[in-house]
Amino acid sequence: MDPGIDDALALLLALRSPELEVEAITTVAGNVEVEKTTRNALRLLEALALRSPPVAGGCSGPLIRPLLTAKHVHGEDGLGGVALPEPSLSPLPRHAVQVMAEVVGRGASVVCTGPLTNLALALLLHPRELRGAREVVVMGGAYGLSPFGHGNVTPVAEYNVYVDPEAAELVFGSGLPLLAVGLDVTMDPSAMLSRREYVKLKRAGTREAELAARLLRPLLERFDRVALHDPMAVAALLDPSLFRVGRYEVRVETRGELTRGQTVVDRRGFSLPGEEWRGHRIKICEEVDGEGFRQLFLERLMG
């Protein structure tokens, strides 16, 4: 993860879900620099008075490209300037890629809510351990499978994939049991959080709901409604029945001048003679029960 306001909300949802045991948090450069994303993960745990799960810092930039942050959305610190306590814990002395390999090698699921740099590097360095993944849920991509499946950083590219398209192409082609939760579902208006629900969170009385309300306030003041991109990736692991999912051949554009980071989906059902498409077949969320998702998010955080 690259906290990031919606990454923070995803972590709150995961920690409040009894079906999940969060074994580790790994951080990557994305919304802000990796030093800040790592500090933010630790600050969130401190705000919740938690001593675990452990946090491991990861890659400081994409595999081969300079980092493009999203500070214009998440603020200079990554959490919208929300005052949180300084962490009393330190990150693990091991790199996130090593920690990911150790945990996934024991059969864990992975939820990726930032650029896929750490996971791609783990596949290159620890392929045997990564094959032990139970499921890999990726928040990323815009697949054109719904009216909302267009880009948010360019007309065709979603931010997490755009930042490190080479990593995304490697992960999508890895053969891991991958489920993509892209803008096709996260930008569905029925799944967005409103000011009315913000008030409910603010009044709920749980530590997690109060923290979520504080994190949401800057975005609600700017946009009136908030898309819960990263929490939806956690929800896909918690309750798959909320989604309609299809399998498609996908490639990630890494060389296009106007199309960098585009997740190109082949829906033709045929190939031309001599064509070298070789798409990667993955599961993609096409539709979401927006009301059911919002209810799940609110119920977990409000207790």
**Which residues touch 66 (CB under 8 Å, ≥6 apart)?**
none
The answer to whether 95 is a known catalytic residue is no
- Of the candidates 72, 95, 229, 280, the residue annotated as catalytic is 229
SS (H, E, C) the chain: CCCCHHHHHHHHHHHCCCCCCCCCEEECCCCCCHHHHHHHHHHHHHHCCCCCCCEEECCCCCCCCCCCCCHHHHCCCCCCCCCCCCCCCCCCCCCHHHHHHHHHCCCCCEEECCCCHHHHHHHHHCHHHHCCCCCEEEECCCCCCCCCCCCCCCCCECHHHHHCHHHHHHHHCCCCCEEEECHHHHCCHHHCECHHHHHHHHHHCCHHHHHHHHHHHHHHHHHCCECCHHHHHHHHHHCHHHEEEEEEEEEECCCCCCCCCEEEEECCCCCCCCCCCCCEEEEEEEEECHHHHHHHHHHHHHC
The distance between the two most distant Cα atoms of the chain, rounded to a whole number of Å, is 62
Catalytic residues: 229
